[in-house]
Structure 1
């Protein structure tokens, strides 16, 4: 079994252990895709869909995996409440065991005419996003009324 598959399997098992309830068939498929994305990020060190697709273990073509990841993040059925929030507290608890938590806030231009305000925890010189808000607007400062 290759390293990519071992990493994927450990991530998938970890996500399932942290998930607060029994998964339906659709939720299980979504969680498998999420595990593939996370393992792709871990193995490639990048968060571009193509880079994740290259390192995610699957018998499908890299392009097919990249498209599946893109569809996943664009799917309105995949919401933060179900597929993200259950993992934040265990992540922070685990990181706190390694040392003090450092949080950073960043405002960045994303896409065309949108701004993202992101709060992340720093781990091994990487910012892991915890919360974010995306609003329409031009590059510059967030106004109080936007937040």
Structure 2
């Protein structure tokens, strides 16, 4: 009985992991095949290479595509390559992409902790309102 229950749990876990790793394939997004549990960043997790090197290699390998589906461990992530798509993400659709999973404690590192690329939610909005006037087209041309 215990063995049957254990096999059932393993089978269910395998199904959900396999389903998670087929996310980009089901959507028709190109990308490298992930490894179970580590995705595309296995060498980063064991300390062989930096994540930026892994993503740069994927970026170069899929140069004919505007975007690439990758997996950071079990999390599906989209690597955007097309300049027009990047502009849409950073300007028009930024409200959908404003929060990220980078965290820095403001008490430990006040400079990085208050960086607008790391801030989230209401704190990000306040900082953006303070900084935006400094980057108007007239002031940027002046520089």
User: TM-score, normalised to structure 2's length?
Assistant: 0.32
Report which of the two has the higher share of helix. Answer: 2
User: TM-score, normalised to structure 1's length?
Assistant: 0.31
Report which of the two has the higher share of strand. Answer: 1
Higher radius of gyration, 1 or 2: 2
